[in-house]
Chains A and B, each alone.
Chain A
Amino acid sequence: MIEIIDIHKHYGHVKANNGISMTIKDGSIHAILGENGAGKSTLMKILSGYIHQNSGLIKINDQIVDFSSTSVAATFGIGMLYQDPMDFPQLSVIDNFMIGQAKGIFIKKRTFLNRFYHLSQSLGFSLEPDCLVKTLTVGERQQLEILRLLSLGTQVLILDEPTTGISDLQKDTLFSALTRLTRDGKSIVLVSHKLEDVETLCDTITVLRQGRVSGHMVKPFDTNKLLDLMFETRSSPPGRLVTSQGPVFFSLNQVSAKGGRVGLKNLNLKIHQHDVIGLAGLEGSGQSVFLKVSSGLLPVQSGTICLDNKNIVGKSHVYFQNSGITYLPSSRLEEGLVPGLSITQHVSLSARPKPLIVNHKKALISSRDAIDTFHIKARPDSYVETLSGGNQQRLLLSLLPLKPRLLLLENPTRGLDLSSAYFVWNHLQAFCKTDHTSILFTSSEIDEIMMVSNRILVFYDGKVVLDKKTAETTIHEIGAAIAGKSVHL
């Protein structure tokens, strides 16, 4: 049993954890629920020894413990699965598994192989030990990390947003594995902002809001009450956009390209003004290659891309941008923003056309505007890497050009809580209404696609296997297409 008593942690004047107390029972799945920036991640990092609290106590089985580092926490059986897996992409699965536990000079690989097979079988995972980790999906890397932590003797497994970026199938596998682990007496702490996941899986929920505990709840859960605990004010969900379809302005004809695992194969597509198109499919089925090709970031092997009936294949990304085609990547900090630069500097960078002399004063005013309009919780001189995921996405939105013609968005609401996601969509749909903008976006959540888009494309193996108006299809049909059980086009 773990007791957390009156934990405080602040960064400068920001109180991330402001007196948090809770109890985690053995053999239970305990969820920490809360909006982005509610203090969940901070609390978990303290619990796993990654950072140290300013004050407060942690007791394990009535004994006070002090985690000066993650390795100390590990000796008490606490292991954390981070949102971005901490592994070595260049090494094989089994090598990653052995790292940190193999002692001595001669590594008995066979012993580890046996342990690996045994563990993964008992949890229903199917990983190839000789695969290179870089070829795995996020879900598979997560499985590997869980195996490794368990093998190290972890009794309390902390998972930070584990269902982000993995397929539904992988989610099911994960959930049944976690349930199994509790039967062995292990505790699971799940950090999430996804109500649905939490409600199906967990025994106990602790809701955090603005660094404090706003409530506890045990099974069965009352969704409305949970939502009230999470948000002070609930924003309304966006609906499907209803506008008349405009003329075709952007098209791909017989486009093939390399990239990702499967590339893109002979794609034909016409995009109308005001279209909001959701791109579904297992991760790496060609959606992100498609977005990159359409934004001029990846070269095509064959075929043409036409904007206003003019072939723009071979033009630079800057040309695409200047023509009103904007791309936002899903990994914001890796590809979308520049860590080390402040919000104001990002505003300066996105100015078009860029004047030779950067006008700091003007950029400061615009960044204040952006912070106000987009409810970014930061100051103009905050470095982007210090922002939470939701705030990073809001910042990226604020940097979009005034009147984009085509927005290509990779997982625009990934990692965002409901109210942030709603905010994003309300803002994006405004573009379509007023500026004839069309949006293409990928999402791993079919619900989201069904909710906001009027057309859906399902990718499988580098091809579009389903292209329908969302009003004319069903979840069942989409699910089948995603799994490759193709239907008639």
Chain B
Amino acid sequence: MKRRMESYGKMVQLLFMNPVFFIGISLLLVFIMTSMVLILTGAPPFSVYKQIFLGSLSTGSKFGHVIKAWIPLTLCAIGLLYTFRINLWNIGVEGQMIIGAVFCTFIIRLFPNSPYPIMILFLAFFSSMMGGALWALLAGFLKTKGGVNEIFAGLGLNFVAQGLILWLIFGPWKRPGVASMSGTEIIPKGLWLSLIERTAIPPAGLILTFLALFVTYLLLKYTKIGLGLKAIGLNPKASLLFGLKPSLYMLLAMVFGGGLAGFAGCIQVTGVYHRLIPSISSNYGYLALLVVMLSNYDIRLVPIVSFFFSCLNVGSIQLPMVLHIDSSLSGVIQGSLVLTFLALHALHRRLSTPKEIQPS
């Protein structure tokens, strides 16, 4: 009897080690959990799923809007890979995105009627990255020099960034004669990111995001920077003995993370809203944190998980429009999804890594 139980246990363990089976089981569990939550809130689960799917992927233009959300979300998530690698929780990504958007708008306001819009755009991209990086560096310095936990520093700086953008929109950058939280004057049409016809996809943003994915993959896997970040993240004390400077690498990771978030902010300004608005970040920073964690910090999964969340974000607008359910329900879906996945991750880790020291 006991033998039998044991062999069952082993079989279950082996099955869980198989990635395809694991993903299958995960999806099934996630599906059951979310459906239960939906039923509890009184929403018909199947119609909800159907509408979210149709609302995000059924037509080319909807797919375009998904990609429009995917670009900044993925950029932020890529940036977070650097900081998570070195074991920093860059909660400040939201603020870094905002500051990137502010720097971008600043450049555009400086040269509204330039004859070389491409150059201005490049300048705006570049300075938004600098802005985001600078904002991240502030949190980085607070961490490395001041010993302030990066989570608190990041949260604080998020508030400061939010305050700054409100002040700019309500004050110096207001529309002439208007004082409204609805945003600044629209930027000149020549400086809008051009879109693929009949969709909301800016090819420039798409290409640069893929480039960022590719470069980050190489950087993390094949360079001393990637190895150094990982080593310091896993054991800062030992990394010192290998001649690495933890504080230097931490600042470097913040610069990469902040720069990419800042760039995402600039995409929001030039490609999506065409002006600066108070909620320019669309909460993509916080969402990106979830994306990276659910991807298990694996860059190959990041674009896929990010795509999934973008679908959820775009598709959930169907809930109020078609089913007349409040779309904040998609937040509930997101929440139960994240919880179930995290629980499964924990289970997976427990089953797959026996903690004992392996004798030879």
* Chain A contacts to B: CB under 8 angstroms: 11-12, 14, 16, 37-39, 41-42, 45, 50-51, 66, 211, 297, 316-318, 321-322, 327-329, 334-341, 345-346, 348-350, 352, 354-358, 360, 377-378, 382, 385-388, 391
Contact = CB atoms under 8 A, between A and B. Distances in A.
B46 interface: no
Listed from nearest, the 4 A-B pairs whose CB atoms lie closest are A377-B360, A386-B358, A340-B234, A338-B235
B231 interface: yes
Contacts of A348: 224, 227
B234 A354 contact: no
B224 A354 contact: yes
Given A51-B354, A66-B2, A348-B227, A42 B359 contact: yes
A341 to B, nearest CB: 6
Contact of B359 (A41, A316, A350): A41
Given A339-B234, A348-B227, A378 B360 contact: yes
Nearest to A345: B227
Interface string B1-29: 01000000000000000000000000000
Interface string B42-78: 0000000000000000000000000000000000000
8 contacts: A16-B359, A45-B356, A51-B356, A335-B237, A352-B243, A357-B222, A358-B226, A358-B227
Contact of A388 (B224, B225, B231, B357): B357
Contacts of B238: 329, 334-338
A386 B358 CA distance: 5
Interface in B313-360: 354, 356-360
B242 interface: yes
Given A327-B241, A329-B241, A340 B356 contact: no
Contacts of B242: 338, 346, 349-350
Interface residues of B, number: 27
A39 B358 CA distance: 9
A345 B226 CA distance: 11
Contacts of B227: 341, 345, 348-349, 358
Given A334-B237, A339-B235, A349-B239, 9 more contacts: A11-B354, A11-B359, A329-B241, A334-B235, A334-B238, A341-B231, A354-B224, A354-B228, A357-B222
Nearest to A328: B241
B2, B226, B357 interface centre (most CB from chain A within 10 Å): B357
A142 B2 CA distance: 36
B223 A318 contact: no
Nearest to A326: B241
B224 A356 contact: yes
A339 B238 CA distance: 10
Contacts of B241: 317, 327-329, 335-336
A336 B234 CA distance: 12
A37 B222 contact: no
B230 interface: yes
A314 B244 CA distance: 17
Contact of A41 (B230, B231, B357): B357
B240 interface: yes
Interface string B181-204: 000000000000000000000000
Interface of B: 2, 222-228, 230-231, 234-235, 237-245, 354, 356-360
Contacts of A386: 357-358
A360 B354 contact: no
B2 to A, nearest CB: 7
Contact of B240 (A14, A51, A297, A339): A297
A259 to B, nearest CB: 14
A34 B245 CA distance: 40
At the interface, is chain B mostly helix, strand, loop or mixed? Answer: helix
A356 B234 contact: no
Contacts of B226: 358
Contacts of B224: 348, 354-358
A11 B356 CA distance: 9
Nearest to A386: B358
Nearest to B237: A335
A356 B228 CA distance: 11
Contact of A340 (B222, B230, B237): B230
A38 B357 CA distance: 12
Contacts of A321: 243
B85 to A, nearest CB: 11
Nearest to B226: A358
B243, B245, B356 interface centre (most CB from chain A within 10 Å): B243
A458 B228 CA distance: 38
Contacts of A341: 227, 230-231, 234
B228, B235, B244 interface centre (most CB from chain A within 10 Å): B235
B356 A358 contact: no
A321 B234 CA distance: 21
Nearest to B218: A357
A322 B235 CA distance: 21
B48 to A, nearest CB: 40
Contacts of B2: 66
B360 A14 contact: yes
Contacts of A346: 242
Contacts of A356: 223-225
B222 A360 contact: yes
Contacts of A334: 235, 237-238
Contact of A211 (B230, B237, B239, B359): B359
Contacts of B244: 349
B220 to A, nearest CB: 11
A39 B356 CA distance: 12
Contact of A357 (B223, B237, B245, B360): B223
B56 to A, nearest CB: 37
A422 to B, nearest CB: 18
Given A345-B227, A349-B227, A385 B239 contact: no
B235 A337 contact: yes
A342 B225 CA distance: 17
Nearest to A349: B242
A134 B219 CA distance: 40
A14 to B, nearest CB: 6
Contacts of A38: 359
Contacts of B237: 329, 334-335
A41 B244 CA distance: 34
Contact of A14 (B223, B230, B239, B358): B358
Contacts of B360: 14, 37, 377-378, 388, 391
A37 B358 CA distance: 8
Given A336-B241, A354-B224, A357-B222, A42 B235 contact: no
Contacts of B234: 338-341
Nearest to B225: A356
Nearest to A360: B222
Contacts of B358: 11-12, 14, 16, 382, 386-387
A100 to B, nearest CB: 20
Nearest to A319: B243
A101 B244 CA distance: 45
B242 to A, nearest CB: 5
Contacts of A50: 356
A50 to B, nearest CB: 8
A11, A316, A349, A355 interface centre (most CB from chain B within 10 Å): A349
B2, B241, B244 interface centre (most CB from chain A within 10 Å): B241
